Structure 1
Amino acid sequence: MSEPRSYSRGTNVAARLLGEQVRVARRERRWSEADLAERIGVSRATLQKIEKGDPSVTLGIAFEACTILGIPLLGADDTDAQALHSRHIADRLALLPKRIRRPRPVSDEF
Protein backbone atom coordinates (compact mmCIF):
# COMPACT_ATOMS: atom_id res chain seq x y z
CA MET A 1 0.00 0.00 0.00
CA SER A 2 1.36 3.42 -0.92
CA GLU A 3 1.86 6.25 1.55
CA PRO A 4 -0.60 9.13 1.46
CA ARG A 5 0.70 12.10 -0.52
CA SER A 6 1.63 15.20 1.42
CA TYR A 7 0.70 18.66 0.14
CA SER A 8 2.23 22.05 0.75
CA ARG A 9 0.68 24.46 3.22
CA GLY A 10 -0.47 26.72 0.38
CA THR A 11 -2.25 23.85 -1.35
CA ASN A 12 -3.98 22.80 1.86
CA VAL A 13 -5.11 26.37 2.60
CA ALA A 14 -6.46 26.84 -0.95
CA ALA A 15 -8.31 23.50 -0.87
CA ARG A 16 -9.81 24.33 2.52
CA LEU A 17 -10.93 27.77 1.30
CA LEU A 18 -12.52 26.27 -1.81
CA GLY A 19 -14.27 23.67 0.35
CA GLU A 20 -15.63 26.35 2.66
CA GLN A 21 -16.97 28.29 -0.33
CA VAL A 22 -18.69 25.16 -1.62
CA ARG A 23 -20.25 24.45 1.78
CA VAL A 24 -21.51 28.04 2.17
CA ALA A 25 -22.96 28.17 -1.35
CA ARG A 26 -24.67 24.79 -0.89
CA ARG A 27 -26.23 25.86 2.40
CA GLU A 28 -27.33 29.21 0.96
CA ARG A 29 -29.24 27.27 -1.69
CA ARG A 30 -30.62 24.98 1.03
CA TRP A 31 -29.35 21.89 -0.77
CA SER A 32 -28.47 18.77 1.17
CA GLU A 33 -25.12 17.07 0.65
CA ALA A 34 -26.96 14.31 -1.19
CA ASP A 35 -28.65 16.85 -3.52
CA LEU A 36 -25.39 18.49 -4.56
CA ALA A 37 -23.52 15.19 -4.82
CA GLU A 38 -26.19 13.91 -7.20
CA ARG A 39 -25.97 17.07 -9.33
CA ILE A 40 -22.19 16.73 -9.54
CA GLY A 41 -22.39 12.99 -10.17
CA VAL A 42 -20.31 11.88 -7.21
CA SER A 43 -20.90 10.13 -3.90
CA ARG A 44 -21.83 12.05 -0.78
CA ALA A 45 -18.47 11.02 0.72
CA THR A 46 -16.63 12.71 -2.18
CA LEU A 47 -18.64 15.90 -1.65
CA GLN A 48 -17.73 15.78 2.03
CA LYS A 49 -14.06 15.57 1.03
CA ILE A 50 -14.47 18.66 -1.17
CA GLU A 51 -16.14 20.59 1.65
CA LYS A 52 -13.43 19.54 4.13
CA GLY A 53 -10.75 20.78 1.73
CA ASP A 54 -9.21 17.42 0.94
CA PRO A 55 -6.66 18.18 -1.82
CA SER A 56 -6.80 14.59 -3.11
CA VAL A 57 -10.18 15.23 -4.77
CA THR A 58 -9.71 15.67 -8.51
CA LEU A 59 -9.64 19.20 -9.81
CA GLY A 60 -12.42 18.55 -12.32
CA ILE A 61 -14.84 17.38 -9.64
CA ALA A 62 -14.07 20.33 -7.36
CA PHE A 63 -14.47 22.76 -10.28
CA GLU A 64 -17.74 21.10 -11.28
CA ALA A 65 -19.08 21.69 -7.76
CA CYS A 66 -18.07 25.34 -8.00
CA THR A 67 -19.65 25.75 -11.43
CA ILE A 68 -22.94 24.20 -10.33
CA LEU A 69 -23.01 26.45 -7.27
CA GLY A 70 -22.03 29.59 -9.20
CA ILE A 71 -18.69 30.06 -7.46
CA PRO A 72 -16.45 32.05 -9.84
CA LEU A 73 -13.28 30.27 -10.96
CA LEU A 74 -10.26 32.18 -12.22
CA GLY A 75 -12.32 35.11 -13.45
CA ALA A 76 -14.75 32.85 -15.31
CA ASP A 77 -17.61 35.25 -14.55
CA ASP A 78 -16.00 38.01 -16.65
CA THR A 79 -15.45 36.77 -20.21
CA ASP A 80 -13.47 39.89 -21.23
CA ALA A 81 -11.05 39.47 -18.34
CA GLN A 82 -10.83 35.76 -19.03
CA ALA A 83 -9.98 36.37 -22.70
CA LEU A 84 -7.36 38.96 -21.73
CA HIS A 85 -5.84 36.60 -19.19
CA SER A 86 -5.81 33.79 -21.75
CA ARG A 87 -3.98 36.01 -24.29
CA HIS A 88 -1.49 37.04 -21.62
CA ILE A 89 -0.74 33.38 -20.82
CA ALA A 90 -0.40 32.58 -24.54
CA ASP A 91 2.06 35.48 -24.94
CA ARG A 92 4.14 34.24 -22.01
CA LEU A 93 4.16 30.68 -23.36
CA ALA A 94 5.31 31.94 -26.77
CA LEU A 95 8.45 33.36 -25.13
CA LEU A 96 9.34 30.17 -23.30
CA PRO A 97 11.03 27.13 -24.84
CA LYS A 98 8.66 24.54 -26.27
CA ARG A 99 10.64 21.65 -24.78
CA ILE A 100 12.49 21.47 -21.52
CA ARG A 101 15.43 19.09 -21.51
CA ARG A 102 17.61 18.05 -18.67
CA PRO A 103 21.03 19.61 -18.96
CA ARG A 104 23.77 17.28 -20.10
CA PRO A 105 26.63 16.84 -17.71
CA VAL A 106 29.60 18.89 -18.84
CA SER A 107 32.89 17.08 -19.07
CA ASP A 108 35.77 19.43 -18.42
CA GLU A 109 38.44 16.79 -19.00
CA PHE A 110 40.46 17.56 -22.11
Structure 2
Amino acid sequence: MVSPRKRSYSRITRQGLALLGKLIRTGRSERGLTAQELADRAGISRTTLYNIEKGAPGAEVGIVFELACLVGVRLFDYDEGALQAQTARLDEKLTLLPKSVRPSRREVDDAF
Protein backbone atom coordinates (compact mmCIF):
# COMPACT_ATOMS: atom_id res chain seq x y z
CA MET A 1 0.00 0.00 0.00
CA VAL A 2 1.35 3.39 -1.01
CA SER A 3 0.93 6.15 1.54
CA PRO A 4 -0.67 9.34 0.21
CA ARG A 5 1.69 12.18 -0.58
CA LYS A 6 1.50 14.95 1.97
CA ARG A 7 0.42 18.29 0.50
CA SER A 8 2.79 21.17 1.08
CA TYR A 9 1.56 24.74 1.50
CA SER A 10 3.39 28.02 1.07
CA ARG A 11 4.45 29.98 4.14
CA ILE A 12 1.87 32.67 3.34
CA THR A 13 -0.92 30.10 3.12
CA ARG A 14 0.10 28.58 6.47
CA GLN A 15 0.21 32.04 8.06
CA GLY A 16 -3.22 32.90 6.63
CA LEU A 17 -4.70 29.66 7.97
CA ALA A 18 -3.21 30.35 11.39
CA LEU A 19 -4.59 33.91 11.38
CA LEU A 20 -8.07 32.78 10.36
CA GLY A 21 -8.01 30.06 13.01
CA LYS A 22 -7.08 32.59 15.68
CA LEU A 23 -9.81 34.97 14.50
CA ILE A 24 -12.37 32.16 14.81
CA ARG A 25 -11.10 31.18 18.26
CA THR A 26 -11.15 34.81 19.43
CA GLY A 27 -14.69 35.28 18.09
CA ARG A 28 -15.82 32.10 19.84
CA SER A 29 -14.32 33.22 23.14
CA GLU A 30 -15.75 36.74 22.85
CA ARG A 31 -19.23 35.23 22.38
CA GLY A 32 -18.77 32.94 25.38
CA LEU A 33 -19.12 29.77 23.32
CA THR A 34 -17.38 26.57 24.31
CA ALA A 35 -15.65 24.59 21.60
CA GLN A 36 -18.35 21.93 21.88
CA GLU A 37 -21.16 24.47 21.54
CA LEU A 38 -19.66 26.00 18.39
CA ALA A 39 -18.86 22.58 16.94
CA ASP A 40 -22.46 21.50 17.55
CA ARG A 41 -23.84 24.65 15.89
CA ALA A 42 -21.60 24.08 12.86
CA GLY A 43 -22.34 20.35 12.72
CA ILE A 44 -18.71 19.29 13.08
CA SER A 45 -16.64 17.48 15.69
CA ARG A 46 -14.78 19.36 18.39
CA THR A 47 -11.54 17.90 17.01
CA THR A 48 -12.26 19.45 13.60
CA LEU A 49 -12.92 22.81 15.27
CA TYR A 50 -9.66 22.60 17.22
CA ASN A 51 -7.74 21.78 14.03
CA ILE A 52 -9.28 24.79 12.26
CA GLU A 53 -8.51 27.05 15.21
CA LYS A 54 -4.88 25.81 15.12
CA GLY A 55 -4.66 26.70 11.44
CA ALA A 56 -4.39 23.13 10.17
CA PRO A 57 -5.19 22.84 6.46
CA GLY A 58 -7.65 20.27 5.19
CA ALA A 59 -11.03 21.45 6.43
CA GLU A 60 -13.72 22.11 3.86
CA VAL A 61 -13.82 25.77 2.95
CA GLY A 62 -17.59 25.84 3.55
CA ILE A 63 -17.12 24.70 7.13
CA VAL A 64 -14.47 27.36 7.78
CA PHE A 65 -16.70 30.07 6.27
CA GLU A 66 -19.65 28.87 8.38
CA LEU A 67 -17.56 29.00 11.56
CA ALA A 68 -16.36 32.50 10.69
CA CYS A 69 -19.95 33.58 10.13
CA LEU A 70 -21.16 32.02 13.39
CA VAL A 71 -18.57 33.87 15.47
CA GLY A 72 -18.73 37.17 13.58
CA VAL A 73 -15.46 37.05 11.65
CA ARG A 74 -16.13 39.28 8.66
CA LEU A 75 -14.66 37.78 5.50
CA PHE A 76 -16.82 39.65 3.00
CA ASP A 77 -19.32 42.47 3.01
CA TYR A 78 -22.50 41.13 4.64
CA ASP A 79 -24.74 43.33 2.54
CA GLU A 80 -26.47 40.91 0.17
CA GLY A 81 -26.81 43.58 -2.50
CA ALA A 82 -23.08 44.31 -2.38
CA LEU A 83 -22.28 40.60 -2.60
CA GLN A 84 -24.56 40.21 -5.61
CA ALA A 85 -23.03 43.27 -7.30
CA GLN A 86 -19.51 41.99 -6.73
CA THR A 87 -20.50 38.55 -8.03
CA ALA A 88 -22.02 40.15 -11.15
CA ARG A 89 -18.83 42.18 -11.77
CA LEU A 90 -16.72 39.03 -11.49
CA ASP A 91 -19.09 37.12 -13.79
CA GLU A 92 -18.68 39.92 -16.34
CA LYS A 93 -14.90 39.86 -15.98
CA LEU A 94 -14.84 36.07 -16.37
CA THR A 95 -16.75 36.33 -19.65
CA LEU A 96 -13.98 38.59 -20.99
CA LEU A 97 -11.16 36.27 -19.95
CA PRO A 98 -10.19 33.21 -22.00
CA LYS A 99 -12.19 30.06 -21.26
CA SER A 100 -8.99 28.07 -20.80
CA VAL A 101 -5.34 28.79 -20.28
CA ARG A 102 -2.60 26.98 -22.14
CA PRO A 103 0.22 25.48 -20.10
CA SER A 104 3.24 27.71 -19.80
CA ARG A 105 6.38 26.54 -21.55
CA ARG A 106 8.59 28.13 -18.93
CA GLU A 107 9.29 26.92 -15.43
CA VAL A 108 7.18 28.64 -12.77
CA ASP A 109 9.04 29.89 -9.71
CA ASP A 110 6.51 29.75 -6.89
CA ALA A 111 9.02 30.10 -4.07
CA PHE A 112 7.84 33.26 -2.39
- Tell me what 2:109 maps to: none
Tell me the CA shift for residue 80 of structure 1. Answer: 3.5
- Tell me what 1:52 maps to: 54
- Tell me what 1:4 maps to: 6
Counterpart AA for 2:92? D
- Partners of 1:91 and 1:44 lie apart in 2 by 41
Matches within 5 A, 1:1-110: 1-75=3-77, 77-100=78-101
Structure number with greater CO (CA < 8 Å, separation at least 6) is 2
- Partners of 1:102 and 1:5 lie apart in 2 by 22
- Partners of 2:12 and 2:92 lie apart in 1 by 27
Query: How many residues get paired?
Result: 102
Structure 1, gaps ≥5 residues long: 104-110
Per-residue displacement from partner, 1:34-93 (whole Å, max 9, x unpaired)?
Answer: 111111111111000110111211111111111211222222x13333223212211110
- Partners of 2:103 and 2:70 lie apart in 1 by 42
Structure 2, gaps ≥5 residues long: 105-112
- Partners of 2:10 and 2:103 lie apart in 1 by 25
Larger radius of gyration, structure 1 or 2?
1
Counterpart AA for 1:27? S
Tell me the CA shift for residue 101 of structure 1. Answer: 5.3
